[in-house]
Amino acid sequence: MTDLLGLVWAGVVSGCLYAMGALGIVLIYKSSMVVNFAHGNLAGLAAFLVFGFTAGILGHMAWGAAVMLSLAIMVGAMALTYLLIAPLVFKSDLTSTIATLGVGLIVQGLTQMVFGSDVVSLELPLPSWRMALGPLRVSAYDLAVLAVTALAVGALYLLIERTRVGVAFRAVSANPFASRVCGLSLRRIHLFAWIVAGLLGLVASLLIVPTTFLSSTSVAAFMLQAFTAAVVGGFSSLPGAVIGGIFVGVLMNLLSFYVAAEFTNTYMLAIILLVLNLFPRGVLSARGGARV
Amino acid sequence: MVHAVPAAESGRAGAARGLPWTGMALGAALALLPALAGGYWTFTLGLCFANAIVILAVSFVVRYGGEVSIGHGVFAAVGAYTVALAERYLGVSLLVSLPLAAVAGGVLGVLFAYPSRNLSGIYLAVATMALALALPEVLLYFSGATGGYEGLYVKRDAIPGVSRELQRYYLPLAGLFAVVLLLRHFRRSRQAMALLLIRTSAPAAESFGVRRGWARLSCMAASGGIAAIGGALLAFSSSTVSPNSFTLWTSIFLLVGSVVSLYSLSLVGSLVGGIFLTLVPLVLAGAGNWVPILYGGALMAVVLGANALPASVRRRLEGGHA
Amino acid sequence: MTAALAPARPLEVQGLSLSFGGNHVLQGIDMTVMPGQITGLIGPNGAGKTSFFNCLTGLYSPQVGSIRLGEVRLEKVPPTGRAALGFSRSFQHVALCPELSVVENVMVGLDRQSAAGWLDAFLPLPRGRRERAANRESALAALTRLGIAEVADESPSQLPPGVLRLAEIARAIAGRPRVLLLDEPAAGLNSVETRDLSNALMKLRAPDLALVVVEHDMDLIMEVCDVIHVLNVGRLLASGSPAQIRSNREVVKVYLGDDDA
């Protein structure tokens, strides 16, 4: 029983990170109907930048400064990515998605060129204590993840529900044509969504590093879990992304322990196929249909 | 009965009537090439031909299924491993294992297509991505049979008496010719017409008895079989198979090759894709990190460039739903 | 009208009702469509013509009532199943594949009856070639019947809407259907094209074919149809010959409004 609780707990923690990745993907999809296949590579690059700035490759900064700088670069990178594929966004979703693959490849190459393909260790400035909370073993890392996720989700909620740009985002997601008629600038909303998604991705990838180490492929691999979470929750649902993330995290842990640990991606495939057969548009889908 | 006189060959609609002169000239040139070029080229081009076949499989799904796959490396892997395993456990050469590989690819196509038959667009793309990422796990789990990380060797000659070097060139070339011809003939078939119609209008096709499920399964089975043939020839030409040759990147690069060839099903088009796929890593051997950058750049250039073309040309090139 | 030919069966609708949520779209429709006749279905906007049409084609399943082709009950049969029973239809928005030539598009209408397998698809085997040639002949015959055989090898993307509509109908009749359902065939056609359509439709009358035309264009309906049914707010308002319908007060009122104060 303690095993089960511990697995579920760890699953919730990693699930939070998948949720953040999924939120980014869903934000982009809801606003611009593009699946950003470059998300993992971009988030990974961001984590590498933090590494580079703190470990001497690009500078010797303090953590705070490194993260700030990387955030700024991420904003630029996401904006640039969007602008590159902008001509395609209104024409065909599938082609814009293919274009994001192109961006992902370029970013992958850049990451490898600057930082090499080796695994590096990036130490997060977190205390390393752990304590026992009833049958659970809770570490500072766990709490940090939960806290950051709660903060991020809360901030996103406020942003979407309470600010003007959030309202505009919701309008564009629900009906882009009508929004345009009402005078909203679709491009600006898309940029907003992409940038916020990029920031979420950066945070998620930094937090995932302690569990997977950092290499040019590790963050991209983590993105499959985020994609699965987005698929499970319904690509058009932000709350669905969070629920999907936690669901995937917990299920993954249980399957790895009780069945076999080597089949992470196979489980993802099975989950995707199973969920989409039972719930064709995801568990919490808002609107369906693909405009191609 | 008065027959309508066929209009002058319209490049766009209907199965092509005349002979493909460019393709035939190119084919003849390739058949004669080993007389002029050295071993390096015959080896490289052999791989290129095999890659071109897999790229044809990806383009097939785009053209006839209207879907994009970033998981076709898996079908190629099935073909490659069938050849390697058949050699290891049954002692047979490529000539026997090639048809087996095609069947294996077709079966896997159906096995994947069935649970994903109602998925389309991005959902299907994500599923193919998961498929591509799941493959190495399966291969490594059954290391005893598949040789794990190191993989297996493919050493048996297919045609006794002919030099290995020439076999590695001509067999993939023959395979490529065969696949291109088969696909050319396929275009005239009623199945092709049904697949093309259901892409335009599912209700119309269904009202004539063509079911969506059938369309998806057939498309993936045919595509899987073709990709497996390519994979089998890849294994033969490179003499090894390992999980490294069939990662998600492989599948993404295959899509890049397909896009660069503008989803062409012709000899010329598939070779453009195949050459791009095979030569770029070789030419950039010293600066390997430039490979994904170049592929990514090419992908975006082609996609953005095609987008700038007039609508009529674009409609022919792009493989989306109407 | 003799009913002697065995394969020809009437299409019978009894007590058909369809609702979406609380919205009663169709109520208690009784109708018999006889083979050998051209049956028209008209009604003002919102009368339920499209919904009724969709019930006939299998897109919608009525909550109450039955649809029968001869002895076979159809309510639960999906569109692909109805195709197997000899149903064929055209579409309001032309559904021809731009990548196929016109004759190839028409050949799809014969797909259901074709036997060529996957081996024939990839390899030039004699059986496949024979069947393909035969199908092409049948397709050309259908195009000739509609009067547009000369465009057989052209691409639909380069043809005017009138020709496309006729091509679609050719596709629908190529397989010798038992029931042909035409959904607003005159939509988007100019008067010349409508005339061509009208002539073509009249030539389609056949003892083994039950032909239903849903239309807005009154002239077309009056000229072409033997029997006309009028729908209004989901109910059958009137049925009869064109002359009877033309002089039916209720129908006139529904279409032209009540002039008397």
DSSP letters spanning A96-144: HHHHHHHHHHHHHHHHHHHH-SS-B----S----EEEETTEEEEHHHHH
The CA-CA-CA angle for residues A118, A121, A124, to 5°, reads 150
- DSSP H stretches of helix in chain B: 21-32, 39-60, 72-85, 94-113, 121-141, 143-146, 164-186, 190-200, 202-207, 212-238, 248-260, 267-283, 290-307, 311-317
The CA-CA-CA angle for residues A129, A132, A138, to 5°, reads 55
Q: Which residues 171-210 of C are in CB contact (within 8 Å) with B?
A: 171, 175
- DSSP H stretches of helix in C156-241: 161-174, 191-203, 218-224
pLDDT bucket at A285, cuts 50 / 70 / 90: low
* Cα dihedral C25/C31/C34/C35 (nearest 10): 20
- Residue C11 CA to residue B215 CA, distance in Å, equals 30
Q: What is the average pLDDT across B143-167?
A: 85
Instruction: Say what the pLDDT of residue A291 is.
Output: 35
Q: Higher confidence at residue A233 or residue A125? A: A233
**Using one digit for the tens of pLDDT, what is the confidence trace for A191-242?**
888 999 989 988 888 888 877 778 777 776 778 889 999 988 888 888 889 9
Q: What is the average pLDDT across A102-118?
A: 87
In this structure, of A5-14, B14-23, B152-161, C31-40, the range with the lowest mean pLDDT score is: B14-23
DSSP E strand boundaries for chain A: 130-133, 136-139
Q: Higher confidence at residue A123 or residue A270? A: A270
**Residues near B195 by beta carbon (within 8 Å), at least 6 away in sequence:** B64, B65, B215, B218, B219
Q: Is C72 within 8 Å of chain B by CB?
A: no
Instruction: Say what the pLDDT of residue B319 is.
Output: 38
Q: What is the average pLDDT across C11-16?
A: 90
Q: Hey, are the CB atoms on A266 and B138 less than 8 Å from each other?
A: yes
DSSP E strand boundaries for C93-221: 179-183, 210-214
- pLDDT of B11 > 50? The answer is no
Q: Is B74 within 8 Å of chain C by CB?
A: no
Q: Is B210 within 8 Å of chain C by CB?
A: yes
- Residue A128 CA to residue A70 CA, distance in Å, equals 24
In this structure, of A208-222, B6-20, B212-226, B255-269, the range with the lowest mean pLDDT score is: B6-20
Q: Hey, are the CB atoms on B207 and C87 less than 8 Å from each other?
A: yes
Say which of C84, C114, C124 has its CB closest to residue B185: C124
A–C contact: 3+ Cβ pairs < 8 A: no
Q: How far is B321 from chain C (nearest CA, A)?
A: 11
Say which of A102, A108, A268 has its CB closest to residue B300: A102
Q: In percent, how much of chain C has pLDDT > 70? A: 95
- pLDDT of B314 > 50? The answer is yes
Say which of A99, A106, A264 has its CB closest to residue B292: A106
Q: Higher confidence at residue C150 or residue A140? A: C150
Residue numbers in B near C132 (CB within 8 A)? 188-190
Contact C212, C49 (CB under 8 A): no
Say which of C79, C121, C156 has its CB closest to residue B186: C121
Q: Higher confidence at residue C16 or residue A216? A: C16
Instruction: Say what the pLDDT of residue B313 is.
Output: 59
A–B contact: 3+ Cβ pairs < 8 A: yes
Instruction: Say what the pLDDT of residue A290 is.
Output: 37
The DSSP H or E segment spanning A225 is: helix A218-233
Q: What is the average pLDDT across C139-165?
A: 91
Q: Hey, are the CB atoms on A292 and B116 less than 8 Å from each other?
A: no
Instruction: Say what the pLDDT of residue C7 is.
Output: 61
CB pairs under 8 A between B and C: 139
Q: Hey, are the CB atoms on A105 and B296 less than 8 Å from each other?
A: yes
Q: Hey, what are B74's tokens? A: 């898996």
Q: Which amino acid is at A66?
A: A
Pick from B120, B293, B294 the residue to mutate for testing the A interface (most A CBs within 10 Å).
B293
Q: Which chains touch A (3 or more CB pairs under 8 A)?
A: B
- pLDDT of B285 > 80? The answer is no
Say which of B13, B192, B200 has its CB closest to residue C101: B13
Number of folded domains that form chain A: 1
- pLDDT of B4 > 70? The answer is no
Residue numbers in B near A35 (CB within 8 A)? 122, 125-126
- For B293, the domain range is 38-313
**Residues near C178 by beta carbon (within 8 Å), at least 6 away in sequence:** C7, C8, C9, C35, C69, C85, C86, C87, C208, C209, C210
Chain region(s) in chain C for CATH 3.40.50.300: 11-86+177-261
**CATH number of domain containing A233:** 1.10.3470
Whole-number average pLDDT of chain C: 87
Pick from B180, B197, B201 the residue to mutate for testing the C interface (most C CBs within 10 Å).
B197
DSSP structural state of residue C122: H
ipTM: 0.85
- pLDDT of B223 > 70? The answer is yes
**Using one digit for the tens of pLDDT, what is the confidence trace for A44-67?**
888 888 888 887 777 777 788 888
Residue numbers in C near B6 (CB within 8 A)? 152-153
The DSSP H or E segment spanning C66 is: strand C64-69
Strands C179-183 and C210-214: parallel
Q: How far is B308 from chain A (nearest CA, A)?
A: 9
Instruction: Say what the pLDDT of residue A135 is.
Output: 72
Q: Hey, are the CB atoms on B197 and C105 less than 8 Å from each other?
A: yes
Pick from C52, C45, C44, C48: which is nearest to C251 by CA? C44
CB pairs under 8 A between A and B: 149
Number of folded domains that form chain B: 1
Q: Hey, are the CB atoms on C108 and B194 less than 8 Å from each other?
A: yes
Residue numbers in C near B12 (CB within 8 A)? 98-99, 155, 157
pLDDT bucket at B100, cuts 50 / 70 / 90: very high
- pLDDT of C55 > 60? The answer is yes
- Per the rule left: phi > 0, alpha: psi between -120 and 50, beta: everything else, A134 is left
Side-chain-side CA neighbours of C258 within 13 Å: the count stands at 3
- Residue B59 CA to residue B249 CA, distance in Å, equals 17
Residue numbers in A near B125 (CB within 8 A)? 35, 94, 97
From C98, which residue of chain B is nearest by alpha-carbon distance?
B13
Q: Is residue B179 part of a domain?
A: yes
Instruction: Say what the pLDDT of residue A5 is.
Output: 85
- pLDDT of B42 > 90? The answer is no
Residue numbers in B near C173 (CB within 8 A)? none
Q: How far is CA A126 from CA A14, A65, A144, A206, A207, in A?
A: 17, 16, 8, 12, 10
pLDDT bucket at B5, cuts 50 / 70 / 90: very low
Pick from C122, C135, C136, C154 the residue to mutate for testing the B interface (most B CBs within 10 Å).
C122
CATH of C11-86+177-261 among 1.20.58.100, 3.90.1480.20, 3.40.50.300, 3.30.420.40: 3.40.50.300
- pLDDT of C23 > 50? The answer is yes
Q: In percent, how much of chain A has pLDDT > 70? A: 96
- Residue C52 CA to residue C13 CA, distance in Å, equals 10
Q: Which amino acid is at C104?
A: E
At which residue do the structure tokens 């919490």 appear? A284
**CATH number of domain containing B306:** 1.10.3470
- pLDDT of C124 > 50? The answer is yes
Q: In percent, how much of chain C has pLDDT > 90? A: 41
Instruction: Say what the pLDDT of residue C181 is.
Output: 93
Whole-number average pLDDT of chain A: 84
Residue numbers in C near B208 (CB within 8 A)? 83, 88, 108-109, 111-112, 171, 175
**Using one digit for the tens of pLDDT, what is the confidence trace for A5-29?**
888 988 999 899 999 999 999 999 8
- Residue C179 CA to residue C8 CA, distance in Å, equals 9
- Residue A174 CA to residue A286 CA, distance in Å, equals 9
